[in-house]
């Protein structure tokens, strides 16, 4: 028999937070290798980038603390599974998937914190 242990994160350290336009958020997820998905939770569309998995970062991760180099976000009231970007630099519209993470306790707490930090201008 295998023991299964749930070990939720205890802390997220966000090093940079930037509110950007929806189109810029889409542009940042378009790469030559393919389009990376965005996340949506409680009327916020966002992406994040993690720090490289160095020995120190892995040690912190295993203790329940993760580091995000950047969190980019914009308001989007209604969830949509696919968003299109029409940009003159591309031959046609590009599509980016959006993952609904509104069932994630972690993402719900993150959005709650983000709203509070924005309201209190503590970021």
Query: Confidence class of residue 118 from pLDDT cuts 50, 70 and 90?
Result: confident
Average pLDDT over residues 58-79: 96
pLDDT tens column, 1-46? 999 999 999 999 999 999 999 999 999 998 777 789 999 999 999 9
Strand stretches in the chain, DSSP E: 11-14, 17-19, 30-31, 34-35, 38-41, 44-50, 65-75, 82-85, 94-100
Nearest to 82 by CA among 65, 70, 93, 96: 96
Write down the domain spans for the chain.
11-120
In the block, residue with structure tokens 């542009």: 27
């Amino acid at each position: 028999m295998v023991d299964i242990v749930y070990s939720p994160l205890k802390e997220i350290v966000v090093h940079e937070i930037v509110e950007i336009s929806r189109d810029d958020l889409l542009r940042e997820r378009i790469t030559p290798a393919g389009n990376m998905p965005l996340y949506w939770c409680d009327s916020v569309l966002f992406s994040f980038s993690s720090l490289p998995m160095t020995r120190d970062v892995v040690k912190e991760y295993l203790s329940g603390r993760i580091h995000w180099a950047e969190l980019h976000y914009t308001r989007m009231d209604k969830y949509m599974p696919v968003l299109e970007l029409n940009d003159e630099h591309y031959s046609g519209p590009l599509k980016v998937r959006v993952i609904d993470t509104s069932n994630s306790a972690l993402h719900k707490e993150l959005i709650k914190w983000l709203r509070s930090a924005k309201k209190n201008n503590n970021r």
